[in-house]
Structure 1
Amino acid sequence: MAEIPTIRIGYVPEHYLTPLHLALRSPAISSLPFKLALTSFPSGTGHMITSLRSNEIDLAIGLTEGWVAGLAGKQQASQSSDGGYKVIGHWVDNPLRWAIVTGRNRDEINGVSDLKDKRVGVSRLGSGSHIMSFVLAQQQGWKPDSLTTVPLGPFGPLRDGVSGLDESKGQTANPSAEFFMWEEFTTKPYFHATSEKPNPPLKKIGEIFTPWPSWMIVASTAVFPNPEQDRRLESLFQAFDQGIRDFEADTAQVVKLLGTGELGCNYIEEDATEWLKDVRFTNATRGVDDKIIGGVVDVLKVAGVIDSAMSNDEAIQRVIGIKR
């Protein structure tokens, strides 16, 4: 008997991926002609891009700006038009709210204006946290290269990098960056003082929103060379849509689930409830709106991430695998 194939899905262990976990818990999953395996990427979208290109995962859900920059950005533009993956679907329709944070004891930094010409910590080159540093510079009227990029790894090392504190060892060191940006509610426990934790390690000095829908689905071009006609993807889109419907049908259960830590993340009831007020998952995951990708390309050109000489048509062709 032939072995059942497995489709490997990369994801970031955050609240936005709750419908993915619900989809895999649905009874309908057992009828699929393949298995699904999840791989967690705490370091984010940039790491998933590397893994897609290395054939370590087949599908991934991550940040829109990271996917687009990885396919149409200056580094990839000088190489093959096949960047190893294509954007095939929507996941979240609302913008992502990024907290801009520094170390709590960094008395010299009290607002975004203090960050000009400073060091920004990012998880990896090409990650959402990296791309958003260019967007921040563009919004502030700074030159695209005004910030010095310091790759520090996932969320924990980023916190240590701006605070100068090794949380795991309780040791102090010189800070390696002045600030970093991360999703608001994931970051909040580390900057919001409570009676239990009156001196959190971080200080929030601002926030920035992505000017586009925040999360999208991509597929490996090696595994799915013709995504428009791939029946496996059709089955997956149906499963994803069901996961989103299950999410929206019982948000009280979602709040409880996010408080257990079993999804690889942990959010207190207050934060999960606040997040639910604004989050909007897509009605149908299949396909990508080329106007939305064109808007992302426009902003990333101004930010210096995509070469202004590249036409939007070429960028969209490089990025989209399934059009809506």
Structure 2
Amino acid sequence: MKTIHIGGVPEHFNLAWYLALKNGDFKKAGINLRWEDYPSGTGAMTKALRKGDIDLAVILTEGIIKDIVEGNPSKIIQTFVQTPLIWGIHVAAKSNYQTIDHLKGTKAAISRFGSGSHLMAYINAQNNQWNVNTDLDFEVVKNVEGAVEGLTQGKADYFMWEKFMTKPLVDKGIFRRVGTCPTPWPCFVVAARMESLKTHRDEIKTILEIINRITIDFKNIADIDKVIANRYHQKIEDVQAWLSLTEWSQDLISEETIHKVQDQLLALNIIPKKLNYSDLVTQI
């Protein structure tokens, strides 16, 4: 039985993987799929792909594109979530900042450089006509728990993270959300190390076939809203709202989308150059 290591954030987007693992779907196909949570997100996963700690990652589109351009020996093999990620822009509940405009020139808490929280701070700055060279500053906080500490203690001023996963912190009066910033492209893709594709191509293809069978019908799973609410400590009405906004994908990411992401990252000086579609994406 071949062992394949995969990483992803411990969030509701990835519940399908948990369900497949719990049901033994991969083992029935002769694959020992080992899931590893990466609560600090994309930056940690790109590092793990580079080191060979994982073979696959369910990862933010803009983050893995940036890292492949910068030399990560991986390629995108499928879109996983087709819809945008809605990033909430949060401040400490007792902060004096009331609007996104108030955050111009202040310090953003980010999980790490190269992470989604880092890259989306640039997208948010551009959306609001800020100067990305002078109006952005960063404090590395590693994860959501670090952001709670950083904002509460005044080490940073705002924090961008998926708005439904941070909603409990808003409800508890720890964070206050002053706005949102959707990604202008599909939010999650599956990426694979090229070395792993050479040695485990058939197994990786089977893994995608198994997970796609679940995601294509994910919203029709009995009581899925209750399962998500219980597992991720969400209110049922928030889960239902999230499900209504979220669509999974079983397809390869389009060339148009790849160019769009790179154009945006290049315009913000986040990447030094653009790559061809075939340098970033492969069909398996």
User: Structure 1: any 5+ residue segments left out of the alignment?
Assistant: 165-174
Query: Where does residue 167 of structure 1 map in the other structure?
Result: none
Pairing partner for 2:263 from 295, 298, 313: 298
What amino acid sits opposite 2:30 in the alignment? Answer: P
The 2-side partners of 1:304 and 1:7 are apart by 35
5 Å matches for 1:10-159? 10-26=7-23, 28-72=25-69, 76=70, 80=71, 83-107=72-96, 109-145=97-133, 146-159=135-148
Which one has a bigger Cα radius of gyration?
Answer: 1
Q: Deviations over 1:19-58 (max 9, x none)?
A: 2222324454333232111100100011011111111111
Find the residue that maps to 1:65 and give its secondary structure: helix
Q: Deviations over 1:142-170 (max 9, x none)?
A: 22222012111111111211121xxxxxx
Query: Where does residue 195 of structure 2 map in the other structure?
Result: 222
Please report how far the alpha carbon of residue 321 of structure 1 lies from its aligned counterpart in structure 2 after TM superposition. Answer: 2.6
Tell me if the contact between 1:19 and 1:246 (Cα under 8 Å) persists in the aligned partners: no
Q: 2:277 aligned with 1:316, yes or no?
A: yes
Find the residue that maps to 2:196 and give its secondary structure: coil
Find the residue that maps to 2:113 and give its secondary structure: coil
TM-score (norm 2): 0.93
Query: Where does residue 228 of structure 2 map in the other structure?
Result: 258
5 Å matches for 1:257-276? 257-261=227-231, 265-276=232-243
Please report how far the alpha carbon of residue 246 of structure 1 lies from its aligned counterpart in structure 2 after TM superposition. Answer: 4.5
Find the residue that maps to 1:101 and give its secondary structure: strand
Q: Deviations over 1:259-318 (max 9, x none)?
A: 332xxx322211111111111111x24x321111111111112222123xx24xx25343
Q: 2:2 aligned with 1:5, yes or no?
A: yes
The 2-side partners of 1:289 and 1:259 are apart by 32
Tell me if the contact between 2:216 and 2:248 (Cα under 8 Å) persists in the aligned partners: no
The 2-side partners of 1:34 and 1:156 are apart by 34
Structure 1 segments of 4+ aligned residues over 4 angstroms from their partners: none
What amino acid sits opposite 1:122 in the alignment? Answer: I
C-alpha root-mean-square deviation of aligned residues, in Å? 1.8
Find the residue that maps to 2:216 and give its secondary structure: helix
User: Structure 2: any 5+ residue segments left out of the alignment?
Assistant: none
Change (3 A) 1:148 1:223: same
The 1-side partners of 2:94 and 2:257 are apart by 40
Find the residue that maps to 1:223 and give its secondary structure: helix
Tell me if the contact between 1:102 and 1:202 (Cα under 8 Å) persists in the aligned partners: yes
Change (3 A) 1:246 1:24: farther
Q: 2:218 aligned with 1:239, yes or no?
A: no
Query: Where does residue 248 of structure 1 map in the other structure?
Result: 219
What amino acid sits opposite 1:113 in the alignment? Answer: D
TM-score (norm 1): 0.82
Tell me if the contact between 2:168 and 2:233 (Cα under 8 Å) persists in the aligned partners: no
Please report how far the alpha carbon of residue 125 of structure 1 lies from its aligned counterpart in structure 2 after TM superposition. Answer: 0.9
Tell me if the contact between 1:121 and 1:149 (Cα under 8 Å) persists in the aligned partners: yes
Change (3 A) 1:315 1:181: farther
